[in-house]
C-alpha cells in the first residue's frame, strides 16, 4: 500500500489546484482570487499633478459605473520610495475579459494620469487560497508591506509547500497575510502584510525572518529564494475607489 501513497508535495499541489479558483472571505462567502496591480513613478516635481490627475481618472470610473474596486498606496520605504501602486483584487479570471469601457478608460488615463507619471510595471497575480487569511478589509489598513520573493524557475511548488508548512505552524490568526502567485507581467511572489502602525514592523520583520529561515533550512538543494526585498506603503483613501462610495 505504501508504494501507492502519493508524495506529500503531490497532495499539497492537488489541494492547491482544488482551491485555486476560490477564496473564502470573512463570513464564508466565495470570492475570486485574481489581482491586477500597476506601479507608477511620478515624474520629478509632478507628484501633486499626478495625484490630482489620478483623482480625476477615478472620477471617470465612478461616472461610468465601474463595478471594480481600486485601492491605492504610496510607497514610503525601500528602493521605490515615492512610487504609487494601484490594484484591484478578488476577481475571477473571467472578470479580466470585461473591464469597464477599456478604450475610453485608456483615453481618459492618457489625458489625466500618463502626462505626470511613468508606468513601471503592470502585473496580474492569483492569491494562493491555502496560504491566504487576508480579507478585503485588510486592503484598507493604514500600512501595507509588500514582500517580494524571487524563486528559480521550476521550483514554485517547492516554495509554496515549504512556505505553507511554516505559515500553518504559526499561531492561527496572529498575523494576516496573502501570498500572491505571479501570473503575468512579473516573476516574483508577493506576500502582503497589513499593519496598523509603524511599530508593527518589528513583528513583521520577525515573521518574515522566520519564513526565510524555514525555507532556507528545508530547501532540497540550491537556494530556493534568490532574492528577497520588502517595502511598506501607506494607504491612500483619497486615491482609492469603491463602487458604493461617493466622491471624496
Q: Is the pLDDT of residue 237 over 70?
A: yes
Percentage of the chain with pLDDT > 70?
85
Each residue's pLDDT tens digit, 149-181? 999 999 999 999 999 999 888 766 678 999 999
Closest C-alpha among 141, 133, 202 to residue 167 = 133
pLDDT digits (tens, 9 = 90+) for 36-93: 999 999 999 999 999 999 999 999 999 999 999 999 999 999 999 999 999 999 999 9
Cell readout for 138 is 485588510
> Strands 71-75 and 84-91, how do they pair?
antiparallel
3-state secondary structure (DSSP) of residue 106: helix
Task: Quickly tell me which residue has 491566504 as its cell.
Answer: 132
Q: What is the pLDDT of residue 247?
A: 52
- How far from 108 is each of 57, 88, 147, 245, CA to CA, in Å? 7, 18, 32, 20
Q: Are 132 and 70 in contact (CB under 8 A)?
A: no
User: Cα–Cα distance between 201 and 164 in angstroms, integer?
Assistant: 22
Mean pLDDT of 184-198: 97
Computed from CA positions of residues 162, 163, 166, 167, in that sequence, does the dihedral angle turn out positive or negative?
negative
pLDDT band at 31 (very low <50, low <70, confident <90, very high): confident
Q: What is the mean pLDDT of residues 4-23?
A: 39
Amino acid at each position: 500500500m505504501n508504494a501507492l501513497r502519493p508524495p506529500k508535495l503531490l497532495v499539497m499541489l492537488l489541494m492547491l489546484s482544488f482551491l485555486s479558483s476560490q477564496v473564502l472571505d470573512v463570513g464564508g462567502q466565495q470570492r475570486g482570487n485574481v489581482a491586477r496591480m500597476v506601479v507608477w513613478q511620478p515624474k520629478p516635481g509632478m507628484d501633486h499633478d499626478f495625484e490630482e490627475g489620478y483623482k480625476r481618472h477615478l472620477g471617470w470610473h465612478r461616472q461610468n459605473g465601474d463595478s471594480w474596486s481600486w485601492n491605492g498606496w504610496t510607497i514610503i520605504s525601500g528602493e521605490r520610495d515615492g512610487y504609487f501602486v494601484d490594484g484591484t483584487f478578488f476577481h475571477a479570471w473571467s472578470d479580466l475579459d470585461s473591464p469597464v469601457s477599456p478604450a475610453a478608460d485608456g483615453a481618459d488615463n492618457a489625458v489625466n494620469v500618463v502626462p505626470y507619471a511613468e508606468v513601471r510595471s503592470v502585473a496580474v497575480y492569483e492569491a494562493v487560497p491555502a496560504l491566504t487569511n487576508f480579507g478585503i478589509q485588510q486592503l484598507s489598513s493604514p500600512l501595507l508591506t509588500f514582500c517580494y520573493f524571487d524563486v528559480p524557475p521550476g521550483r514554485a511548488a517547492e516554495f509554496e509547500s515549504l512556505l505553507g508548512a511554516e505559515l500553518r505552524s504559526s499561531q492561527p490568526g496572529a498575523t494576516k497575510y496573502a501570498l500572491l502567485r505571479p501570473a503575468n507581467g512579473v516573476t516574483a511572489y508577493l506576500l502582503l502584510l497589513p499593519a496598523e502602525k509603524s511599530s508593527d514592523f518589528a513583528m513583521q520583520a520577525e515573521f518574515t525572518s522566520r519564513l526565510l529561515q524555514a525555507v532556507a533550512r528545508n530547501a532540497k538543494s540550491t537556494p530556493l529564494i534568490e532574492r528577497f526585498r520588502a517595502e511598506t506603503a501607506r494607504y491612500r483613501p483619497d486615491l482609492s475607489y469603491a463602487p458604493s462610495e461617493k466622491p471624496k
